[in-house]
Structure 1
């Protein structure tokens, strides 16, 4: 068992996930998504970029199967999605998407734009607690 990091003195174990499917047809969309400058994603990225969040390596705008997820942590098999108000209209699609991602053995943690913009510290603490609950030993 490999330890990725510690949060609140709790060891966080690595979660091995089978190789994930990759839809190469989505690759041309990545530069535009990365440059779109969605404020809540930029604020979150500043918290986790370059292993600032407990030494954990986050990828931004990662292709997994037929989806582009906002953030992905390979060592944990963790997807972090930041949902804007458009997600109020895509509840059924989001459920299918989440089920597909979970079928790959991934865990999905969701934040709202509102929480990131107005309660970033609480959002980051919620992420810590989610990681402890799902990967702590």
Structure 2
């Protein structure tokens, strides 16, 4: 039997902390994703998969959405993001990454790109 890779107990507090201190980009995108607003898909915020906490997750699509701020331009963080993304993909998840500014500059286009990734 495969062990549960979702929302492991030891990450509960960290996930709660991230939800309560979300970036303005995360808060803005969440307004469009919450309550099944995007093509009826249910999204979760700050969902954990194995040891990773992803910004947004849609179980029915096995879709992970990550928002990247300027900190993600740092070489070490960018390397970590890449390894993390490869691991998530190896587990069968689709990963979409957007820069925070895209949320503010072109939300409709970003939401459309998410919809286009649906099965």
TM-score past 0.5 threshold: yes
TM-score (norm 2): 0.89
TM-score (norm 1): 0.78
Q: Is the 8 A contact 2:38 2:115 kept in 1?
A: no
CA distance in 2, matches of 1:19, 1:47: 32
Which residue is 1:119 aligned to?
106
Which residue is 1:55 aligned to?
40
In the alignment of these two chains, the number of paired residues is 115
The structure whose RCO (Cα within 8 Å, separation 6+) is larger is: 1
Write out per-residue CA displacement over residues 19-72 of structure 1, whole angstroms, 9 at most, x where no aligned residue. Answer: 751443222101110010311111111101100111000011001001000000
Structure 1 alignment gaps of length 5 or more: 1-17
- Rg bigger for which structure? 1
CA distance in 1, matches of 2:63, 2:42: 11
The Cα RMSD (Å) is: 1.5
Structure 2 alignment gaps of length 5 or more: none
Q: Is the 8 A contact 1:78 1:108 kept in 2?
A: yes
Q: Secondary structure at the match of 1:57?
A: coil
- 1:102 CA displacement: 0.7
